[in-house]
Chains A and B, each alone.
Chain A
Amino acid sequence: MKVLIPSPLLSYTSAREVTAEGGTLGILLADLDRQFPGIRHRMIDEQEQVRPHMRIFINGEQSFDLNQAVRPGDVLQIIQALSGG
């Protein structure tokens, strides 16, 4: 499925749009990390929680649940809530 990458993570993917596979959000992020090592830890902490300033949308709906099912054709958008100086 299509994954849209925010600018702070472009150093990993070198592309705004990449593809990854998986039946759940967690598996999909693992596949993303397999392709782009290190990217998952910048978004998901060691307690398997989405980091405070990261937001993940599946087909426009926000999700914090790594067990949420995803299907081919879904669009995953990763957004970073930039703030501060």
Chain B
Amino acid sequence: MGTVEMSARNYGRKATSPGRTARRVRKVLLLVGTRKGAWLFRGDASREKWRVDGPHFLGQIIHHMMLDPRDGKTILAAASTGHLGPTLYRSVDRGRSWQEIKQPPAFPKAAGDEQGRVVNHTFWLTPGHADQPGVWFAGTSPHGLFRSEDGGETWTGCPGLNDDPQYREWMGGPQDGTPDGPKMHSVIIDPRDASHMYVGMSSGGVHESLDGGRSWKPLIDGLEVVEMFDASKVWFHDPHCVRLCPSNPDRLYQQNHCGIYRLDRPATTWRRIGRNMPKSVGDIGFPMVVHPRNDNVAWVFPMDGSSVWPRVAVGGKPAAYVTRNGGRSWQRQAGGMPKSRAWWTVKRQAMTNDQCDPVGLYLGTTSGDLWASADEGKQWVCIARHLPEIYSVETAVL
């Protein structure tokens, strides 16, 4: 298990744009999805002043929003409510106007007496490869991978994952996974090769496809699972967030339920670099952020994973941690953040970076505060308070 045949065409090749050099940035757009709607924050390259635009879709749960870097203007927003079925909205003018798409991700109608699956919500959105304009991928809850070839207007399931009997077993049912249902996340496209993909299943492990999603293999060697469970069983693995380094697509970082890991392809065994975090802080959390131009630099936001898993800033003292050497050591970054009594929780999609130089970092808390750093984490400022529970924060540079 965990052994993947290597595709010589991929590994070892350098990435071309956008990961190698800093882009000249005029504007930064923050896409903030919350439990009660979406907000857009528009800033200039200094990232000192932000213009607030929102709420959009007030009252709807916005799980994730992404801008299409291939055209610089299309945004998809994954929406549901507590009561209506899920849908997606699409903007072709950077969020100034929105239209509901024609056909959201949905499982096929079950045959006969078979128990059919129902998409509860779309959890994750990923634009396709630069050479495939109009292609998008969506990860859903319960587990499902869907593909659009028309810019997100219509979606079809990826049967190589969704309908494979082995994967159906590893996925479990709607009651498995996180308290809010199983999540298909971290849908990653290798910038060198559109057919090379990764996904994370929470729970259900990390998986790789070398044929555009037609077939998949687990990529879980070296990952730990909760004590007393068997790490050879795929369904016990719980990756929280997986990121590929744009500057070196052979390098992956992962925040897992059981630690922080790094994997340098073509190797298939993850290394627990979170062991190098301060013992008093630990290496449990949800987000994982990687530097757009330096594959040795990555950030995490550790949370308390003790006892009943409080999942708040350790000791009520929030901080990001950065590594600048691929995980051999970590430094605390809490400048500007509250020094104590701040019990933040940051979800896996709610911490991200921009492409500027220096890199900007952003995080949103479940208590509705949005924080930003314009200097790669040294100093943080709160740019919005009292938003609803923040589910996701993404950026786009224009």
Contact = CB atoms under 8 A, between A and B. Distances in A.
B82 interface: yes
Contact of B109 (A8, A38, A46, A80): A46
Contacts of A80: 83-84
Given A37-B102, A38-B100, A48-B109, A43 B84 contact: yes
A41 B83 contact: no
Given A38-B100, A41-B104, A46-B109, A9 B84 contact: yes
Most buried by A among B85, B87, B109, B117: B85
B118 A41 contact: no
A46 B83 contact: no
B119 interface: yes
A9 B100 CA distance: 13
Nearest to B81: A8
Interface of B: 81-85, 87, 100, 102, 104, 106-110, 116-119
A8 B83 contact: yes
Interface residues on A, range: 20 to 34
B109 A47 contact: yes
A34 B351 CA distance: 40
A49 to B, nearest CB: 8
Contacts of A46: 106-109, 116, 118-119
Nearest to A51: B85
B83 A82 contact: yes
Contacts of B81: 8
Nearest to B106: A46
A42 B84 contact: yes
Given A41-B104, A46-B116, A53-B83, 8 more contacts: A8-B84, A41-B85, A43-B84, A45-B85, A47-B107, A47-B110, A47-B116, A54-B83
A66 to B, nearest CB: 12
Nearest to A43: B85
B218 to A, nearest CB: 28
Contacts of B85: 41-45, 51
A9 B85 CA distance: 11
Most buried by B among A46, A80, A81: A46
Interface of A: 8-9, 37-38, 41-49, 51, 53-54, 80-84
B84 A38 contact: no
6 contacts: A8-B83, A9-B84, A41-B104, A42-B87, A43-B85, A46-B106
B82 A53 contact: yes
A37 B154 CA distance: 13
A47 B116 CA distance: 6
Nearest to B103: A41
A18 to B, nearest CB: 17
Contacts of A84: 82
Contacts of A37: 100, 102
Contacts of B110: 47
Given A8-B81, A38-B100, A84-B82, A47 B87 contact: no
A51 B84 contact: yes
A47 B104 contact: no
A15 B84 CA distance: 18
A80 B118 CA distance: 19
Given A8-B81, A48-B109, A41 B116 contact: no
B87 A45 contact: no
Nearest to B104: A41
Nearest to B80: A42
B108 to A, nearest CB: 7
A53 B83 CA distance: 5
Nearest to A41: B85
B154 to A, nearest CB: 12
Contacts of B118: 45-47, 49
Most buried by A among B107, B117, B118: B118
Most buried by A among B82, B102, B119: B82
Contacts of B87: 38, 41-42
Contacts of B119: 46
A81 to B, nearest CB: 7
A51 B119 CA distance: 11
The 9 lowest CB-CB distance pairs between A and B, nearest first, are A47-B116, A46-B106, A53-B83, A42-B84, A45-B118, A42-B85, A38-B100, A80-B83, A41-B85
Nearest to A40: B85
A36 to B, nearest CB: 10
